[in-house]
Chains A and B, each alone.
Chain A
Amino acid sequence: MTTTLQPTPTGFQERAGQRRAINGIRNSALPILIAAVYVGASIFVPQFLTFETIRAILLATSITGIIAVGMTAVTLSGNFFSLAVTASTVFSGVIYLWVGSATGNIFVAALAAIVVALVLGLIQGYIVGLGLNPVVVTLAAGAIIYGSTAILTKGEVVAAADNSMGRFATFAIFGVPLPVFIFIGFTAVAWFLTEHTLIGRNLHLLGANKATARNSGISATGTTIWAFLAFSVGIGVAAILQVSQTLQIQADNFPELTMNVVAAVLVGGTAITGGDGSPVKSAIGALFIATITQIMVLSGIPQGTRYFVLGLVVVALVITLHLLRKASR
């Protein structure tokens, strides 16, 4: 007589139940945390719950958030991050000001900025799609783009011909600046494309398992190019909005942008290895970082301490989300 040990259906169900619970915690952790932060800050931080403060948070979120939402497609596809964020944004911003100043038409200028961003993204996406390391490719691309900007602008400040080029930033609806609405709209479109279209599913599958994706007939090159194009639209839009706010730009602007975008994507919970994540989560990640920063400003915490605390919070969140992801498998 032999005895065969088999897993009981109950054990299966228990583990499945645990995974569902952990996944639930993972998916709702950040929204719950943000809600808790808002409630706490409303009670303990003077002037937090004012229209001006909330507007400042949303504005600070919008630029970084738009790029982070675009970057999510790259990360989802298993290509880590583009490290050419800063250089690409500056270059697109310069194009916006140059074309706008030359034509006097901000829409033509915006189109030119986005087209240039798309071309830069297309080249990077194609090279990465061929199988080259995305970190190396985008790092090199960033250096080339930065160098080109410095040469073309001769290191000078590029300024708008007139204030009309700032309309994208100054236009407001009910006192809320346009960049905030563009950020929300951009996130919604990115979410739809990522979660409800074929290319979105391809991005997930390619990031989760490249070999399986290839066997399923998904083009790694084509899908990677799509990811970089989505990212580039974010770059172009963010550049237009950022430059509209200050009406000038220099080659060495936005030195912290790349790190802020990467932090927003990671805090949002997108897996650095790809396959798992969402543009909405990246948007929430950007909102969380902007909120924590604003709370520290209102609390009079010095800048150095703010960076230190923010770094700690980001690291703690990323580790926690990583552990939860592992536990849910």
Chain B
Amino acid sequence: MRTRKLLSWQTVAAAALITGLTVATAGCSTGGSSSSSTAAAGSGSGTLDGKGALIKIFMPSTSNVYLAAAAKAAAAEAKTLGYTSSIIENNFSQTEEDQQVQEWLATGEKAAAVLIWPASAKNATASIRALSKVAPVLQWNQLIDPAADPFIKIGYAGVSDLGIGDQAGKDTLAQIDTLTKAGYKFHGPGGLPNVLEISLGSGDYAAGEDRHTAFMKVTDGKINYLGREGAANFDAQGAFTAASTAIPKYLSAGIDIIYVQTNDMGNGVVQAAEQNGLKPGTDVFLMTGTSSGSTANLRSGKITTAVLQSPVIEGTLIVDNTAQYLATGSVTAGTVTIASDEAKPKLEMTPPTRTTYMMNPSVTAANIDSFKIWGFDFQALMGDAATN
């Protein structure tokens, strides 16, 4: 009888222990398969391996070559890290993106994280807020609007327009220094170079404003700024139109340098300058931003410098930051710009920085063929967003 009672007590204890272990194991398992809940709670999965969890990406259309390359890189990196990725594209419309967010939320699909490239960062807060309720959110390419900041769990990763403008400004100062040493005489008052700017829009486009502001900050007091003409369309054709009308206005004053916010647009400005009797690379120097578009003028020296903006790095970076967050469940405050390492650094299981910018080294005819970042040459870094 006593033996039977003892057995009974042991059975109950063993059953309780097994039940407890089973529940605990199930809890861990749930945390692993749905990283969002774990991450949101502040503890990570403890591994960079995605184990098939979904990363949902909202972004504008991949009919744009830069976005296509970025999306391709993000999907490839997600696969490498063991995540599943799925992209929903909009036609550069925040209204469309908002609707897509609502439709996706209604499906009830579970995602470890959501990565959003807002069509309009200023108007995306409602969608970001809604997404933040089901998964941690990372924003990319468009800087976080203050109103959306509380709902962004992971942070920002991607391009820095301030960084691009800053680098273009530094390139301009270096070119001024080189020309000065070579005895070049500038046209501006006090021997300063006359600088014309062809920008992304004229005060109505955030990226254009950031690039303008950063450029002006770096070059303050070292150039004679003639003024700017905004391109309505951010390509070679749009810049050609803008420059064709702006150059005659300043031609009599003498134009030494033209700061064009992208290399793609610079190709249009080269032609407009030549039609106005200027010789790019000889008597006028084009300092450009983003390195997309045809590189023919950059290679020939008609465009003096461009600034690397790699969609491949950007696509890879957003997934890496997300994986780090999901693994650690936390974020380090601050801003960091990643280094231009020749080989891709091993992804560490450390929290990502709240704001992570890509590198923006300058691209010139001299270094374009020897470029090596993360194991990619220039063309591979641009992923079809630039052509020879």
Contacts and interface: CB of A to CB of B under 8 A. Distances in A.
A84 interface: no
B232 to A, nearest CB: 7
Interface of B: 62-65, 68, 201-204, 227, 229-230, 232-233, 235-237, 240-241, 244-249, 251-252, 264, 267-268, 271, 274-277, 292-294, 296, 384-388
Contacts of B235: 250, 252-253
Q: Which of A155, A177, A250 has the most CB of B within 10 A?
A: A155
Given A245-B240, A248-B293, A303 B245 contact: no
Contact of A156 (B268, B274, B384): B384
Contacts of B227: 300
B249 A297 contact: yes
Contact of B244 (A60, A248, A252): A60
29 contacts: A52-B247, A52-B276, A56-B247, A60-B241, A155-B62, A157-B264, A157-B293, A159-B294, A159-B387, A159-B388, A245-B237, A245-B271, A246-B236, A246-B267, A247-B236, A247-B294, A248-B264, A248-B267, A248-B293, A248-B387, A250-B235, A253-B237, A255-B233, A297-B229, A298-B248, A303-B229, A303-B230, A304-B202, A304-B203
A320 interface: no
Given A47-B248, A246-B271, A293-B245, A156 B229 contact: no
A302 interface: yes
Q: Which of A52, A60, A245, A294 has the most CB of B within 10 A?
A: A245
B65 A156 contact: yes
Interface in A33-60: 47, 50, 52-53, 55-56, 59-60
Where chain B touches its partner, the secondary structure class is mixed
A50 B248 contact: yes
A155 B64 CA distance: 6
B202 A297 contact: no
Contact of A256 (B203, B233, B388): B233
A127 B375 CA distance: 54
Interface in A250-288: 250-256
Nearest to B237: A253
B306 to A, nearest CB: 14
Nearest to B199: A303
Nearest to B271: A245
A166 interface: yes
A302 B65 contact: no
A52 to B, nearest CB: 4
A47 B65 CA distance: 40
B252 A50 contact: yes
A155 B65 contact: yes
Contact of B252 (A47, A169, A170): A47
A170 B279 CA distance: 13
A232 interface: no
